A = this chain, B = another copy of it.
Amino acid sequence: MNQDYIKADNWSIIEEGFDAERVKSSESLFSIGNGAMGQRANFEETYTGKTFQGSYIAGVYYPDKTRVGWWKNGYPEYFAKVLNAPNWIGIAVYVNGETLDLNTCKTVSNFRRELNMQEGWYKRSFVTTLANGIVVEVETLRFLSLELDELGAISYSVTAVNSDAEIVFAPYLDSGITNEDSNWDDKFWNTTKVSATENRAFIEAHTMKTKFETCTYMQAFLEYKGNLVSEGLVNQTDTTVSFTFTQKVEAKETVTLTKFGGYTVSRNHRSDKLVAAANSVLDKAVALGFDALLKKQKEAWDAIWHMSDIVIEGDVKAQQGIRFNIFQLNQTYLGTDSRLNIGPKGFTGEKYGGSTYWDTEAYCLPFYMATKDHVVARKLLKYRYNHLEKAIENAQKLGFSNGAALYPMVTMNGEECHNEWEITFEEIHRNGAIAFAIFNYYRYTSDYSYIPEMGLEVLIGISRFWHQRVNFSEEKGKFVMLGVTGPNEYENNVNNNWYTNYIAKWCIEYTLEQLNKVKDGYSDDYGRIIGKTKLTDVECEAWKEVADNLYFPFSEKHQVYLQQDGFLDKELVKVADLPKTARPINQKWSWDRILRSPYIKQADVLQGFYFFEDDFTTESLERHFDFYEPFTVHESSLSPCVHSIQAAKLGRMEQAYRFYLRTSRLDLDDYNKEVEEGLHITSMAGTWMSIVEGFGGMRVLDDKLSFTPQIPKQWKTYSFKVNFRNRILKVTVTQEGATFVLEGGQEGMSIRVNGERKVLKPV
């Protein structure tokens, strides 16, 4: 953890001073993205120090052949790797013949980075003395356009500080790039053509195996004293192309390179039209110009913030933290493309691979439902519908039949790509989160249409899976679910994980309910679905039999549901009684010791109490919270948010606030000393939930929004907006109370505040 790394600021992420050891971490923190592509904050100019180069195109991946120690039958053959794409940001700079390189220069001063979240740009500036004694000042500003989402723009200025200097700029494209995360050192990219026109350059390359065709392109202008400098030679190799601009710069004068670049991809264009598409983007960019594009960028971010901002007064670090989370979520996914999803590292790193985990449904969906139009959340749901066939195939590979669907633990294209057996094969509760998201989407948006159109088929596949996955225990006289891993990944291959059993039962019951509803209200859809799935009443009866007779481990003594069979056989020493030297246990203890311990990585039983809170009394929640939280080590980035929400519900605001702090600045303060690998994107949605659902107590009850607002004593006020069924509600909470403002519209809206009905008039 490093609390002084990033300067506190309401709207910007700021680093001051150059530290070569922090370059990789800052490359993560200052990442930029526009939903369609993104990149780490790598330097444009040459840098020979430690760096983790990364530029990513949404949906472009490589199925890397699985590499494991010991093969288990059923492992997926491939792991979808997040791919480092060709570099378009590169600008080699030479000063009197010497390469500008912060790793080899004599001194660096006034080094500063700023990621302006309000306006969506990233700026870096520094003064450096090169080995040849020449001092230059550099300022560079970069953004990935929301207006033209295939385009990025860079303004790179060099000022000769102490003397005249000949400055050469060589903006380039480079497809000779590699991945840090590669199983077999395969070649991921094949470059097919490098070309250049008078002032534009293109590299056409495709990914191996997946054959995503891409065109990486650029155009650059050098300006000195108000005049354009014409470029010199085009330099080409098999995988690079550059232009050379040379300019004698007088002392104190500045020369500025403007570079436009980016990708056009066969996912969005015909393969043979990629260069044409790139030219078209460049035409638009050139016509608008850098400044106008930057202005549009600010406007676009302004629109995003208008809806999704959370304002906290009285705590700059908390303000900065929550905005960083909201900003990164929006950089990662904007809901414009139902083929995309929310990767755990977004566009900030390669780790974990794949783009979709159950994080999307369990953590990210509520954020997108409340801060965007409902079509965005619907796209996330449609994504899973589009993968239903693959989920059925996936289940078939594991021995299931009759249309049973098991959604993958990790995926890019619908196929499973995770390959730890205890997760891939056993962490099947993910199926439940996908069903719950359907319920949650309808509950929040009241848009039922997804269910007859798509969702019911998903629900049927999932229910079929649960029905086949349980078996009847003669011993217990109940159906049991053996050999699973629950949300708490510090347990593997356990029997009757309460959360998994609970969500399985719920899935079946919800599916049966929706079947009836669709039958009654959408008979065409019903006919189509029954025809397609061949679902019979007999099968539904068999599901019901399972749901009605599923086993749930329960302790009479403690009056709590047990996380799994045998939980009480563990040595129940509380986390607080562990020696400090044992923490975090995932670094200090061997895996077997973790597995047989009672320690919980993230909410498991309590995750069930979160999803299905209406099924349990607050007393029961309190009993379970008091039983399980003391054994919870919160070593997953997804853990503190659920606990924060539950603690707030129990009125334990001090505890709720402590949990909130653990999640909101996880990356900014680099708690786990791993931010250089990339950011924890999906858990950022959990931070948003901690405020809105936790402190704000927002719920949907009886088709209406309900709030139980509380505020940490450390804050003066906080406010947020939610889009509820196309009505915008602004909630402001102070130490004195809460106010609710309904923005626009004609009609009033009824909400509940602390259980009391309240009718809001639009303003």
Note all chain B residues with C-beta closer than 8 A to A590. 72-74, 397-399, 425
Known: A74-B590, A398-B592, A426-B592; 12 extra A-B contacts, CB below 8 A, are A68-B69, A73-B588, A74-B593, A398-B593, A399-B589, A399-B590, A425-B590, A425-B592, A473-B569, A474-B568, A474-B572, A476-B569
Q: Which B-chain residue is minimally distant from A423 (CB atoms)?
A: B70
A472 interface residue per 8 A CB criterion:
yes
Q: Which B-chain residue is minimally distant from A476 (CB atoms)?
A: B569
Q: Known contacts A397-B590, A493-B492, A593-B398: does B419 contact A69 (CB below 8 Å)? A: yes
Contact with B along A568-597 (1 / 0, CB 8 A): 111110000000000000111111111110
- In whole angstroms, how far apart are the Cα atoms of A668 and B399 in the complex? 33
Q: Can you name 9 A-B pairs with beta carbons within 8 Å?
A: A67-B67, A68-B68, A73-B589, A75-B591, A399-B589, A473-B569, A480-B569, A482-B595, A493-B494
Note all chain B residues with C-beta closer than 8 A to A90. none
Distance in angstroms from A466 CB to nearest chain B CB is 14
A66 interface residue per 8 A CB criterion:
yes
Note all chain B residues with C-beta closer than 8 A to A212. none
Distance in angstroms from A621 CB to nearest chain B CB is 23
A475 interface residue per 8 A CB criterion:
yes
- In whole angstroms, how far apart are the Cα atoms of A495 and B566 in the complex? 8
- In whole angstroms, how far apart are the Cα atoms of A709 and B224 in the complex? 103
- In whole angstroms, how far apart are the Cα atoms of A398 and B572 in the complex? 20
Note all chain B residues with C-beta closer than 8 A to A588. 73
**Number of copies of this chain that the complex holds:** 2
Note all chain B residues with C-beta closer than 8 A to A571. 471-472
Note all chain B residues with C-beta closer than 8 A to A596. 471, 482-483
A421 interface residue per 8 A CB criterion:
yes
Q: Which B-chain residue is minimally distant from A398 (CB atoms)?
A: B590
- In whole angstroms, how far apart are the Cα atoms of A590 and B425 in the complex? 8
Complex partner residue of A482 from B75, B399, B569, CB under 8 angstroms? B569
Distance in angstroms from A73 CB to nearest chain B CB is 5
Contact with B along A140-161 (1 / 0, CB 8 A): 0000000000000000000000
Q: Which B-chain residue is minimally distant from A568 (CB atoms)?
A: B475
Q: Which B-chain residue is minimally distant from A478 (CB atoms)?
A: B569
Contact with B along A485-502 (1 / 0, CB 8 A): 000000011110000000
A743 interface residue per 8 A CB criterion:
no
Note all chain B residues with C-beta closer than 8 A to A586. 73
Complex partner residue of A420 from B70, B419, B595, CB under 8 angstroms? B70
Q: Once the chains bind, are B72 and A69 in contact (CB under 8 Å)?
A: no
Q: Once the chains bind, are B568 and A565 in contact (CB under 8 Å)?
A: no
Note all chain B residues with C-beta closer than 8 A to A482. 566, 569-570, 595-596
Q: Which B-chain residue is minimally distant from A493 (CB atoms)?
A: B493
- In whole angstroms, how far apart are the Cα atoms of A421 and B565 in the complex? 21
- In whole angstroms, how far apart are the Cα atoms of A494 and B420 in the complex? 18
Contact with B along A30-74 (1 / 0, CB 8 A): 000000000000000000000000000000000000111110111
Distance in angstroms from A689 CB to nearest chain B CB is 28
- In whole angstroms, how far apart are the Cα atoms of A70 and B586 in the complex? 13
Residues facing B in A70-94 (CB within 8 A) are: 70, 72-75
Residues facing B in A389-413 (CB within 8 A) are: 397-399
Q: Which B-chain residue is minimally distant from A66 (CB atoms)?
A: B69
Complex partner residue of A566 from B75, B399, B565, CB under 8 angstroms? B565
Q: Once the chains bind, are B475 and A569 in contact (CB under 8 Å)?
A: yes
Q: Once the chains bind, are B595 and A483 in contact (CB under 8 Å)?
A: yes
Q: Which B-chain residue is minimally distant from A70 (CB atoms)?
A: B420
